[in-house]
């Protein structure tokens, strides 16, 4: 059976932690769709098209990775894409509580969907898009927290 996983997020920006989760999950699935959920009322800090472009830069050659965006519910997009799995990275126990609530709600709305979790590496545990964004916004150098291909590319706006 063809196994597709959705890796949803706002990726504002995509970090070295996200990259590692996708790379380590790739052998487990036939396809991973990295999908930026967005809505018209609440923008991210970086523009949607930039965020998509950056992720494409990271996984340029990788055939099993698709990069896209969606409006609406994650479960509806899974249905549309035929994705049977939602992939998520877990950093801390605070993450876990939130991820559990979302996963259980998703399961009620789409019982076929299964959420699969992998751990961030120890060196990535402290890296959140929120803090990385704040560093960039304050003029700091966040390259250590970004995928290699994106270093020197993501700047304060």
Residue 139 in contact with a copy of itself, rule: CB under 8 A: yes
Q: Do 120 and 8 contact (CB within 8 A), yes or no?
A: no
Least distance to a copy of itself from the beta carbon of 28, Å?
7
Task: Please provide the DSSP assignment of 65-97 as one string.
Answer: EEEEEE-S-HHHHHHHHT--EEEEEE-SHHHHH
Q: Per rule CB under 8 A, is residue 93 in the interface with a copy of itself?
A: yes
Question: Is 10 part of the annotated catalytic residue set?
Answer: no
Q: What's the full length of the chain, in residues?
A: 157
Number of H helices, E strands in the chain: 5, 5
Least Å distance, CB 143 to a copy of itself, is 10
Q: At its nearest, how many Å lie between a copy of itself and the CB of residue 152?
A: 16
Task: Note whether 11 and 129 are within 8 A (CB).
Answer: yes
22 and 115 in contact (C-beta within 8 Å)? Answer: no
Among 17, 67, 85, 133, binds a copy of itself (CB under 8 A): 85
Applying CB under 8 A, does 71 fall inside the site for a copy of itself? yes
The torsion defined by the Cα of 3, 118, 110 and 32, in degrees rounded to 10, comes to -40
Is residue 98 within the footprint of a copy of itself (CB under 8 A)? yes
- Catalytically annotated residue among 24, 56, 91, 153: 91
Question: Does position 72 bind a copy of itself by CB under 8 A?
Answer: yes
Q: Is 126 an annotated catalytic residue?
A: no
The phi, psi pair for 88, rounded to 5°, reads: -140, 145
Catalytic machinery residues: 18, 42, 91, 129
The footprint of a copy of itself (CB under 8 A) covers: 1, 3, 24, 27-28, 39, 71-73, 75-76, 84-85, 90, 92-94, 96-98, 100-105, 107-109, 114-119, 121-123, 125-128, 131, 135, 137-141, 144-145
């Amino acid at each position: 059976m063809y196994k597709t996983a959705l890796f949803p997020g706002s990726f504002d920006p995509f970090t070295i932690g996200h990259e590692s989760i996708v790379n380590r999950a790739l052998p487990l699935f036939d396809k991973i769709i990295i999908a930026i959920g967005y809505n018209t009322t609440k923008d991210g800090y970086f523009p949607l098209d930039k965020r998509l472009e950056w992720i494409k830069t990271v996984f340029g050659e990788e055939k099993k990775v698709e990069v896209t965006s969606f409006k609406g519910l994650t479960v509806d997009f899974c249905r549309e894409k035929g994705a049977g799995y939602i992939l998520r990275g877990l950093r801390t126990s605070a993450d876990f509580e939130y991820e559990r609530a979302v996963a259980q709600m998703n399961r009620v709305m789409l019982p076929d969907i299964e959420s699969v979790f992998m751990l961030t590496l120890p060196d990535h545990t402290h890296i959140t898009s929120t803090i990385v964004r704040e560093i960039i916004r304050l003029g700091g150098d966040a390259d250590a927290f970004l995928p290699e291909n994106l270093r020197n590319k993501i700047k304060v706006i």
